[in-house]
Structure 1
Amino acid sequence: MTQFRYPLLAVALCSLTVASPLQAKKAEPQTYQTSTVSVAKAFNADTATTLSLEQIMADPDWLGRQPEAAHWSADSTQVYYQRKRQGSELRDWYARPLNGSDNGSLVSAGALHLIGSDDAVYNRDRSMQAWIFEGDVFVRNMLSGELTQLTRDNAQQTAAEFLLDGRLAYREGWTYFAHNLTTGLRTELASLKTEAKPKGPAKPAGYLAQEQHKLIEFVALEQKNAEQRYAARQQLQKENASLPAAAFYLGKDQHIVAASLSPKADYLLVSVRKSSKRNDKDIMPNYITGNGDIAAEQVRARVNDVIPQPQRLLLLNLQDGSSTELSYSSLPGYNEDVLAKVKAENAKAQGEKYKSAKVIRDIGLMTDWYWSQSAMRWHSSGEQVALMLKALDNKDRWIATVDLQKKVLVPQHRLHDEAWVNYAFNDYGWLNNSSSLYYLSEESGYAHLYLKPLNGKAKKLTSGTFEVSSPVLTHNDNYIYFQANVNHPGNYEVFRTELSSGNLQQLTRLGGSTSFTLSPDEQKLLLNFSTNLSPNELYVADAKPEATVAQLTDTISEQFKQLPLVAPQIVAVPSSHGEQPVFSKVYYPADYQQGEARRAVVFNHGAGYLQNSDLGWSGYFREFLFHNLLVQQGYVVMDMDYRASKGYGRDWRTAIYRRMGTPEIEDLVDGVNWMVANANVDRNRIGTYGGSYGGFMTFMALFKEPELFQAGAALRPVSDWAYYNHAYTSNILNTPAIDPIAYERSSPIYFTQGLTKPLLINAPMVDDNVFFQDVVRLVQRLIEQENINFETAIYPVEPHGFRQPSSWLDEYRRIYKLFEQNL
């Protein structure tokens, strides 16, 4: 890995100017730029204003209700976006012309079907656009602007797709239709049935039935008529082209994972697995209900109980009705025992010996909860199809194409990771005008773009110690636009790479966090931009270097703009466990270097794989304001992107493999040491808190490093990873059946005997993410150990993410009281 050297980096509000593009062909920075970002566009803060918990934890409408879910109009002349309705959880749509003013105009309910969708599809020459609104299909002629509604029913159409012959395809349930836009004829292309194929009238079986058919003429005649009707229907289905094709019967107790229709409507690719029966134990009691009863609500299974089902990949020929199962045996490593070392270590711990052997691994589509794209991608010509597949043990991800003649998978790329393959950074697709694939891969240690011809070697399009995400290919294959943190791990800008030359160009230099949407005509960028001190707003710029940026929305409230907020400085805390530093936000009081050493609080962000010490507006906006309140009262606050956080490469992400709660707490130790040495902090007056993964870290810090913090608050915390979900946990710790060592090493409930300092545990009771049971079990263990250093607050109506301002206020009053009393 690259060595890193970072001085202190102070980051404040940024400018809204676009600087010149990068000129290097392939930027390969060995260190991030660390110069101070200039300050511009500051709010007119009233320094006499003081923050209060009541204001911070109030309904967030007071911040201004920022734009959400923005997308372009079909003609690229205006933008549609949603905005929360004042005092309601409902969202309204707004239309903002590029040449307009203010925040645009409200779109009436009667006109919502006209605005299109962010997932609208186009035909090959982009003369037609289609989208789904409320389960019905709409088509717009891009030349005339004429709008046609194709369906108006309760059938719920989905997956609109233009076919190469001009028809528009969509599906209802798992039945595919093609709609002729000229004649209006709707044709059923394929119907998928998860049941056994009918076999026609059954022959008499057994002695009594056979005798009955011999002795009773009526019974024999009925049997004969039934067989003739069945044969006639089969003949009609085969010979009469006016009838729909016969259904595909996929088998009883099968679940359709995904399917993808060829643009030529000649093939359908389908992935199926065995249906999983619901476990009656997977329930959550809800004590506060409308009728006064206790409701047993269904929730997800625990990782301990999940047995992932392998998927079968079927190639259905829509021309002759045949079905072929595609074998995974051509994929490199499909039968490797990739967990041999883990199994051997666990066997040894149990006094046994593990013998490794070849094993057929369970494989399926890359359909993780994090990834919203289709894992099946047809080339626009309909001549090729690619799939992204993963091993269910989480160690391999493959991209493969299908030889449609030989009906076999052809491997194109394998990404193997001894820890786990990331569920992010898996975008891929075809070039439009050649048989080449582009894709993201972490194989170099960072997520970068690659280009691979089907019969050639892959070419790396980007390089360096930064992450590439959200690639968008232009329709002429000239450019791929993307978001990346090239200049600093917390600064996300928009870039593009020119495929013919490899030139990398930086298109924005706004200094905070910027995401983008390319306009349908590919001439403009819709930018969603924020800073540490300013929530997101919408901007627009030409899709080229050095373009002027214009602001489209101004939704931030005047009340918020008047707050005397402190911009955190982002510092690179040296690590005692590696070359790469721990990037951290530090909030300083104005006079922190004067007088006696300060109190301090360390905040632990949730999600584990999340970046919070970046330059954009944080989803933890309440915590951000709470930290400002603490700063006003003389605290120093640190918010660390500990190991496992997003934005810093593969090694940073996988440092917690099989040992969650160890590298992160080591980083907290380094953070505390840094504050004592550099921020005038008293080592004996430091507390910590966090929610979800941050609550888990609070547990581990107080249990395993009892002298590090003088108090801690664990909010909606994980106490035993065997009780968490499968999709997230099995990546990092494998499964309890295979790797109990990892679970016992990583779960706080095994270390409760280390608690010696005051601990506040706040737990929502209707949390379907981290179950209330996590807190109940850990509290009972503390009681049995006769530990009196904790108290618990419960929130009967709250899910994982609190909804009621009164709950937020109660929670943070308790956190504040904990720190005031103990620091």
Structure 2
Amino acid sequence: MRRMILAGLVALATAPAAMAQAPATASLDLETIMANPEWIGAAVESPYWSVDGRSLYYSLKQDGSKVRDLYRVDVASGQSVKLTPEAVALADGPAVFDRNHRQAAYIRHGDVFLVELATGRRVQVTRTPETESAPRFAADGRSLQYRAGNQWYVYDITSGVAAPAAILQLADDPQAKQPDALGEDQLRLFSTLRKIKADKDVQRTNDDALAAADPGRAPKTLYLGDIGELVDTELSPNGRWMLVVTQPKGYKAGKAPEVTHYVTDSGYSEQQATRTYVGRKDPAPQSLLLVDLQSRKSWPLKTDSLPGIKDDPLKDLRAKAIAALQKAGKGDDAKALKAPEQRAVRIISNADDGGGGGIAWSEDGQNVAVQLRAIDNKDRWIATVDFDKHALLNQQRLTDNAWINWNFNDFGWLKDNRTLWYLSEETGWSQLYSKVPGGKAKALTSGKFEVSHPALSEDGQWFYLRSNQTAPYSYDVYRLPATGGELSRVTQYQGMDDFVLSPDGKQLGVLHSAPYVLSQLAVQDAAGGTPRDFTNTMKSAFSSRAWIAPQMVSVPSSHGAGTIWAKYYGPADTAAAASRPAVIFVHGAGYLQNVTSGWSNYFREQMFHNLLVQQGYVVLDMDYRASEGYGRDWRTAIYRRMGHPELEDLLDGKAWLVKNHGVDPKRVGMYGGSYGGFMTIMALLRAPGEFAAGSALRPVTDWATYNHEYTSNILNEPQLDPEAYTTSSPIEYADKLQDALLIQHGLIDDNVLASDSIRLYQRFIELHKKNFWMSLYPMERHGFVHPDSWYDEYRRIDELFETYVKPARQATPAVTQ
């Protein structure tokens, strides 16, 4: 079962009355809000079914520890029990089944187990220090396949013997090496050398004959040639074929910046290398090799037949950049930007990559699909393999002038073993398609909503999906016939976090949440109906409070973008909001959906918003353009101009507050972390005077110093598209600062480096700016984990707003340090 990203959740159907909008019975305070979140409760995590389908297992975090305990709930009675270590040793793991549902296999503590369903007999297949994974029954049901790293094994169920499926070496066969002219002359001259060679040849022939006649021997090493480094291998279910992914040998990622740990166990400052900057070196290109384990032959699967592979989607930008470098006398740099004859690719992962490396076999092993992505981020191909011609055959090309989404890349095969299914954003919205290779694609779903996380039932009759069909912020489980038909809603939670099908396909285990309720576990019929809730892990200290229910509001765009969805927090008496100061919260990640009525990734911030309302503010939390859940155009609106469409949306949010709630336009503050920190700084620098103050947490201030994977998608590479980086980086607008700005950053942040904040701070110093401050946290990375740091961070934000946003007059005192 794949763990879903928590996004687009809405109110729990059975939400307690305490969530109604009403004043809290006890005043909130920052010490409580920013304390260790164990006072809230624990989310139910990673549910999966027992092999007999009678129980569900799930995990809960222990209080005072990062350890997760394993629980089992009996579906019939609803009784739940925490398993002892002895019981954990006997527990099932998430299971896979053979075609006839007579056997199951799973991983427990990194080892493989096999279960006979009729008798319940369990066999431990492995007991090794390695971590085995990806158990799968062979096409004939007689053996079990699994992997340890990139080595595949086959366990014969009848004999109980396991052996490597193949032993691969990315090197030339030393025994196949033929003597050169000098060597031949040596053999001609010296009979002793001829005798030694003849003995070796005889021994090798004898060994080959014995191996061919004895299936009980381990396979001989298969030498694939000196073709690079191994990245991934994928064995076919029928055991005949293996796909091998490689990259160039010794490929270096480029120089990596370091962060300094000042507070350490040793008492000495310590250095830690991090990720490289964008554009310093492209990710390693990857290649495919098809290996026939029967004939022991291999063939490269060339990508030159993929449609568009030889096009240059960045042609115009490239020409402009080359001309500028040549004009500046940088001929060598200009040559480095020359387009390759054929674009490099990588074998991209599935949505939650379980080690598949972008390769999906049909259950019978007769078909395989490979998903490839151009390193320039503009194309994704799904291709099948012609085993006779040893060639890739394109089945679907997805092209995007901006960038291909990192979501919605699931694909696989129907139970007929010949029909391919996949997700695609080709209409502007993620939808599900099927296609017989070589035929015409069929849209199984359509509409202006997103579908994701497709799960095919064991009998192959149904797809179960996550979708926000009813509203952008409302997610539930839907299902449709695998061959196409009506998309019908199965659950009614609106805040559905995750789901898992029972082995017989008749029931769903569902994780669901609400604004102030962590993920809880329920079971309902797979066709719909009334669910049964099995858990309540919330603590009364939290759940007994009368939290403010966020209101879903639609803010009209004044720039033709349509509706900007937002969450509004205000007093129960709408009239009381008039003339209040306001705070706009900006979520992080860019591509993330926070306008939901489900449990938020920003649960501390949500509590802080309750505190702000208590202190006399109203709060708006917006899903600005680039946010998840609203289709391709909303996502890519920021291409080559990050911080511009988003700012238009945030200013529309401010105008909406002024118009609809009488907010004083001179008393609006802003804050956010990561991408939200970037946007806070962009708002203050690109719209001076619009916001009285802002706090930027762990912000990106110069996109040229962020990582390659995220940034090159949206801004291309800095050498190729310097204009996009200049347009999108706050440091380029530093001279525009006039409003109060507080910057906060963890010093050991290895995602957005603290140097981003420090460099911008130095620019402000040199520009003689006023009313800017910086708080650094020596023991925090990108996501803070220590309550003391959380408290200090939000104390400063609170004081900033109290000083510069809340007063009706212009304030002059500095923020307390």
Above 0.5 in TM-score? yes
Aligned residue among 225, 244, 251 for 1:270: 244
Note the 1:554-633 alignment, pairs <5 A: 554-594=536-576, 597-633=579-615
Note the 1:464-613 alignment, pairs <5 A: 464-500=447-483, 502-545=485-528, 547-594=529-576, 597-613=579-595
Aligned residue among 189, 212, 221 for 1:247: 221
* Partner AA of 1:198 in structure 2: P
**Cα pair 1:14 1:510 within 8 Å, conserved:** yes
Aligned residue among 651, 657, 677 for 2:659: 677
Aligned residue among 150, 160, 179 for 1:174: 150
- Mapped to 2, the partners of 1:56 and 1:775 lie a distance apart of 26
Aligned residue among 118, 122, 128 for 1:147: 122
More displaced 10-residue stretch of structure 1: 326-335 or 780-789: 780-789
- Mapped to 1, the partners of 2:402 and 2:559 lie a distance apart of 19
- Mapped to 2, the partners of 1:668 and 1:465 lie a distance apart of 24
**Cα pair 2:669 2:691 within 8 Å, conserved:** yes
- Mapped to 1, the partners of 2:294 and 2:10 lie a distance apart of 62
More displaced 10-residue stretch of structure 1: 515-524 or 218-227: 218-227
Q: CA deviation at 1:13?
A: 4.3
Structure 1 residue 734 and structure 2 residue 711: aligned? no
Q: In structure 1, the residue corresponding to 2:581 is in which secondary structure? A: strand
- Mapped to 1, the partners of 2:106 and 2:459 lie a distance apart of 23
Q: In structure 2, the residue corresponding to 1:778 is in which secondary structure? A: helix
Q: Deviations over 1:117-140 (max 9, x none)?
A: 33x322111211112222211111
* Partner AA of 1:74 in structure 2: V
Partner residue, 2:56: 79
**Cα pair 1:690 1:713 within 8 Å, conserved:** yes
Structure 1 residue 47 and structure 2 residue 24: aligned? yes
Q: Deviations over 1:740-781 (max 9, x none)?
A: 221121111111111111111111011111112212222222
Aligned residue among 13, 16, 31 for 1:15: 13
Q: Deviations over 1:626-654 (max 9, x none)?
A: 00000111101010000000000000000
- Mapped to 1, the partners of 2:23 and 2:116 lie a distance apart of 53
Aligned residue among 701, 712, 715 for 2:694: 712
1:753/1:117 Cα in 2 relative to 1: closer, same or farther (>3 Å)?
farther
* Partner AA of 1:326 in structure 2: L
- The percent identity for this pair of structures is 42
Q: CA deviation at 1:206?
A: 7.0
Q: Deviations over 1:660-686 (max 9, x none)?
A: 111111111111111111111111111
Query: Number of residues paired by the alignment?
Result: 786
- Mapped to 1, the partners of 2:225 and 2:759 lie a distance apart of 42
Partner residue, 2:812: none
Q: Deviations over 1:771-799 (max 9, x none)?
A: 12212222222222222331111111111
Q: CA deviation at 1:258?
A: 2.1
- Mapped to 2, the partners of 1:774 and 1:517 lie a distance apart of 42
**Cα pair 2:242 2:291 within 8 Å, conserved:** yes
Q: CA deviation at 1:158?
A: 2.6
1:307/1:788 Cα in 2 relative to 1: closer, same or farther (>3 Å)?
same
**Cα pair 2:577 2:661 within 8 Å, conserved:** no
1:381/1:221 Cα in 2 relative to 1: closer, same or farther (>3 Å)?
closer
1:806/1:196 Cα in 2 relative to 1: closer, same or farther (>3 Å)?
farther
Q: CA deviation at 1:697?
A: 0.6
- Mapped to 2, the partners of 1:151 and 1:666 lie a distance apart of 58
Structure 1 residue 790 and structure 2 residue 767: aligned? no
Partner residue, 1:343: 318
1:603/1:595 Cα in 2 relative to 1: closer, same or farther (>3 Å)?
closer
Partner residue, 2:791: 809
**Cα pair 1:12 1:569 within 8 Å, conserved:** no
Structure 1 residue 416 and structure 2 residue 399: aligned? yes
Q: Deviations over 1:287-345 (max 9, x none)?
A: 22211122222322222323222211111000010001011122111111111133234
- Mapped to 2, the partners of 1:595 and 1:586 lie a distance apart of 11
Q: In structure 2, the residue corresponding to 1:584 is in which secondary structure? A: strand
Q: Deviations over 1:259-302 (max 9, x none)?
A: 21111100001111114236464432222221112222232222
Q: In structure 1, the residue corresponding to 2:575 is in which secondary structure? A: coil
- Mapped to 1, the partners of 2:10 and 2:421 lie a distance apart of 36
Aligned residue among 90, 94, 110 for 2:67: 90
* Partner AA of 2:294 in structure 1: Q
Q: CA deviation at 1:100?
A: 3.5
Partner residue, 1:437: 420
**Cα pair 1:665 1:697 within 8 Å, conserved:** yes
Q: CA deviation at 1:387?
A: 1.1
**Cα pair 2:501 2:509 within 8 Å, conserved:** yes
Partner residue, 1:34: none
Q: CA deviation at 1:499?
A: 3.6
**Cα pair 1:592 1:634 within 8 Å, conserved:** no
Partner residue, 1:66: 43
Partner residue, 1:405: 388
Aligned residue among 273, 280, 285 for 2:260: 285
- Mapped to 2, the partners of 1:534 and 1:79 lie a distance apart of 21
- Mapped to 2, the partners of 1:145 and 1:206 lie a distance apart of 66
Q: In structure 1, the residue corresponding to 2:797 is in which secondary structure? A: helix
| Ranges in structure 1 where 5+ consecutive residues have no aligned partner | 1-10, 17-38
More displaced 10-residue stretch of structure 1: 810-819 or 288-297: 288-297
Q: In structure 1, the residue corresponding to 2:784 is in which secondary structure? A: coil
| Ranges in structure 2 where 5+ consecutive residues have no aligned partner | 1-8, 328-333, 806-817
Note the 1:313-392 alignment, pairs <5 A: 313-347=288-322, 359-367=341-349, 371-372=353-354, 374=356, 375-392=358-375
1:357/1:349 Cα in 2 relative to 1: closer, same or farther (>3 Å)?
closer
1:804/1:219 Cα in 2 relative to 1: closer, same or farther (>3 Å)?
same
Q: CA deviation at 1:699?
A: 1.3
* Partner AA of 1:88 in structure 2: S
Q: Deviations over 1:508-561 (max 9, x none)?
A: 22233443211111111111111223222111111113x111111001111111
Q: CA deviation at 1:230?
A: 5.3
**Cα pair 1:721 1:743 within 8 Å, conserved:** yes
Partner residue, 2:135: 160
Structure 1 residue 257 and structure 2 residue 231: aligned? yes
Q: CA deviation at 1:234?
A: 5.5
* Partner AA of 2:692 in structure 1: Q
Q: TM-score, normalised by structure 2?
A: 0.91
1:784/1:640 Cα in 2 relative to 1: closer, same or farther (>3 Å)?
same
- Mapped to 2, the partners of 1:270 and 1:730 lie a distance apart of 27
**Cα pair 1:758 1:790 within 8 Å, conserved:** yes
- Mapped to 2, the partners of 1:138 and 1:363 lie a distance apart of 37
- Mapped to 2, the partners of 1:286 and 1:492 lie a distance apart of 42
Q: In structure 1, the residue corresponding to 2:635 is in which secondary structure? A: helix
**Cα pair 1:513 1:615 within 8 Å, conserved:** no
More displaced 10-residue stretch of structure 1: 498-507 or 180-189: 498-507
- Mapped to 1, the partners of 2:350 and 2:542 lie a distance apart of 38
Q: Give me the CA root mean square deviation.
A: 2.7
* Partner AA of 1:462 in structure 2: T
Q: TM-score, normalised by structure 1?
A: 0.90
- Mapped to 2, the partners of 1:288 and 1:521 lie a distance apart of 54
1:12/1:65 Cα in 2 relative to 1: closer, same or farther (>3 Å)?
closer
1:642/1:501 Cα in 2 relative to 1: closer, same or farther (>3 Å)?
closer
Aligned residue among 644, 661, 666 for 1:662: 644
- Mapped to 2, the partners of 1:717 and 1:371 lie a distance apart of 29
